[in-house]
Amino acid sequence: MFAPGAGRILAVSAAVLALVAGLVAVGTIHDRIAASGGLLAGAAVWAFFAVFFRDPERPIGSGIVSAADGRIRAVERDGDRWRISVFMSVTDVHVNRWPTDVVVDSIRQEGAGFRAAYRPDAAGNVRRHYTLSTELGPVEVVQITGVVARRLVSFVHPGARGRKGERFGMIVLGSRVDVLLPAGRVEPSVAVGDRVRAGASSIARVRP
């Protein structure tokens, strides 16, 4: 399964590759060495994007789940909230999922610059904030761009309702996703360096 919108890109690029291969096969393109090299390069690029846009089905985890695939880069207090931050490498699944059942109150984009997403000052990068109403109280999810990852994609709009583990967006080519949770209601269940999967890995549990 591929991320929403990826099918058209992959289908068109595959059709172009098939057309060029057909032209080589019937002799329309005479420089077979150059054409074969181009086909191999094109096939490698297609395979990279097929892997990049993958969006596997997975069982939904317990508690509050990660919004992104990747590695935990920070678990820290931010006022009266816990900030749990995940760094997504270029090889991770890039589709983001809701950490719990939500109603989307607002979506806003702000910030400037495209610093490396693992740096502390990347919090000021171009980013998209999802302000959410949940049974836990206000929750926020933030998609943050990076040096290469500069395209933030949303699949939802204000007023939408989402179930835990449902897809809400993606970041093209990696970067970072932060989840901010009310500290009075939850406690983190992950540590810096842990690997997590969106929708499947628990990152926090509700306080008894």
Domain range list for the chain = 6-52, 64-206
pLDDT of residue 203: 98
Q: Per residue in 14-62, pLDDT tens?
A: 565 565 556 556 555 555 565 566 666 666 655 556 555 668 899 999 9
Q: What is the pLDDT along the chain (208 residues), one digit of tens a residue?
A: 655 655 555 555 556 556 555 655 655 555 556 556 666 666 665 555 655 566 889 999 999 999 999 999 999 999 999 999 999 888 888 899 999 999 999 999 998 877 666 677 777 788 999 999 999 999 999 999 876 666 788 999 999 999 999 999 988 776 899 999 999 999 999 999 999 999 999 999 998 8
Query: What residues pair up with 151 in beta bridges, in sequence order?
Result: 172
Residues marked as catalytic:
175
pLDDT of residue 78: 93
Largest CA distance in the chain: 72
pLDDT of residue 160: 97
pLDDT of residue 152: 87
CATH for the 64-206 domain, from 3.40.190.10, 2.40.30.10, 3.30.70.420, 2.70.70.10: 2.70.70.10
